[in-house]
Structure 1
Amino acid sequence: MDGVRWLDDDEQETWRAYLWASQLLRESLDRQMHRDSGLPHTYYLILAMLSEAPERSLTMSELAQVVRASPSRLSHAVTKLETEGWVRRQKHPRDARTTIATLTAEGFDVLVAAAPGHVEAVRQGLFDQLSQDQVRQLREISQAMLAHLDPPARYHRRREPGGTETPSPDSEVPPPGGVG
């Protein structure tokens, strides 16, 4: 096992603290969303990302990238959201192989209703424990990790259906992206 760059004690402690804190935060957000809105956090995230997209629409491939879901897992989730009337799927007008997911007015209303409880859970679970300097440090650390793990940096850009990237404009909703 020569050449293995083992974690030292400080790195091991940092890694485990990060691992457990991020897992517990995700679980807490999922519990809150189920309790208050009756939907999984993943569904909320899908609705939020669609709400921020131009015309509240993304191709299924783009949506899978932005919510970090496999195409099959996303398709299953969108089918459930479609059944509720919150998302509509249709073929791309210029490419029948491409499917576009669009947030419906009903889905937007569900998102708007769920956003206040979610943002409060994010504040309680993360930001209330941090100073402004720690928030800045966490953002910088997270951005450095994302630059390595996701070089295209899709986490902060919206894509037009068809692939054109645009900077994220302000949302009409109390920004679910700010609480996604």
Structure 2
Amino acid sequence: MDEREARAWLGLITVLQLLPNALNAQLLRDSGVTHFEFSVLSTLYTAPEPVTGMTELARRTDSTLPRLSHVCSRLEQRGFVERTPRPTDRRATDVRLTTQGRQKLIHAIPKHIELVRSLVIDALSPEQLDALIGITGAIEPRLTADAARRGADPTPGRSSTAG
């Protein structure tokens, strides 16, 4: 890498390391949920059907089943999701967002968006925002192709990036 490439790469890595921690801290402080829990709730909220299978939810949140199962257990204990055996296959588990979970998510969104705006959106000029759209649009297909080659989900849910 030349100096310019190294500066760009190190800048990106720094943002990728700092931003998730800031988002997680804000959500925990203001809503009592982690960023990943927020992502799970958001994914269920935006799902096309009211019930989502655990395997599909893991795919859409770019998570492993064991991690997702642990998080869903915590969310279920708090009344935010409900898990039930799939009627057609008792080995599979379905998850649905409860009314309490929907309320928790809706309560969390405004302050979360406020932080996303203050840390990222408001730091950029309209031209830089357009450039960021172009940059992420250029990188994402390569990451999607790489995930597909590795057998991972090439199209994880975007709820956690939406704010």
- The TM-score with structure 1 as length reference comes to 0.79
Matched to 2:42, the amino acid is A
- Alignment RMSD (CA, Å): 1.9
Is contact 1:48–1:177 with CA below 8 Å preserved after alignment?
no
Q: 1:63 aligns with which of 57, 65, 68?
A: 57
Matched to 1:78, the amino acid is C
Query: Which has the larger displacement, 71-80 or 96-105?
Result: 96-105
Structure 1 portions without partners, runs of 5+:
1-6, 157-174
Q: 2:96 aligns with which of 94, 102, 105?
A: 102
**Residue number in structure 2 paired with 1:153:** 155
1:73 aligns with 2:67: yes
Structure with higher helix content: 2
Count of residue pairs the alignment pairs up? 155
- Residues 71, 12 of structure 1: alpha-carbon distance in 2 compared, 3 angstrom cutoff: same
| SS at 1:150 equivalent | helix
| SS at 2:95 equivalent | strand
User: In 2, Cα distance between the equivalents of 1:35 and 1:134?
Assistant: 30
**Residue number in structure 2 paired with 1:13:** 7
Superimposed CA distance per residue, residues 128-172 of structure 1 (whole angstroms, 9 cap, x where no aligned partner): 01122222221222232221112443446xxxxxxxxxxxxxxxx
**Residue number in structure 1 paired with 2:130:** 136
- The TM-score with structure 2 as length reference comes to 0.86
Structure 2 portions without partners, runs of 5+:
146-153
**Residue number in structure 1 paired with 2:118:** 124
User: In 2, Cα distance between the equivalents of 1:135 and 1:57?
Assistant: 35
User: In 2, Cα distance between the equivalents of 1:141 and 1:94?
Assistant: 44
Is contact 2:60–2:155 with CA below 8 Å preserved after alignment?
no
Matched to 2:60, the amino acid is V
Q: 2:34 aligns with which of 32, 35, 40?
A: 40
How high is the sequence identity, in percent, across the aligned residues? Answer: 35
User: In 2, Cα distance between the equivalents of 1:71 and 1:137?
Assistant: 35
User: In 2, Cα distance between the equivalents of 1:74 and 1:176?
Assistant: 15
Superimposed CA distance per residue, residues 32-54 of structure 1 (whole angstroms, 9 cap, x where no aligned partner): 11111112111111101110002
- Residues 60, 115 of structure 1: alpha-carbon distance in 2 compared, 3 angstrom cutoff: same
**Residue number in structure 2 paired with 1:165:** none
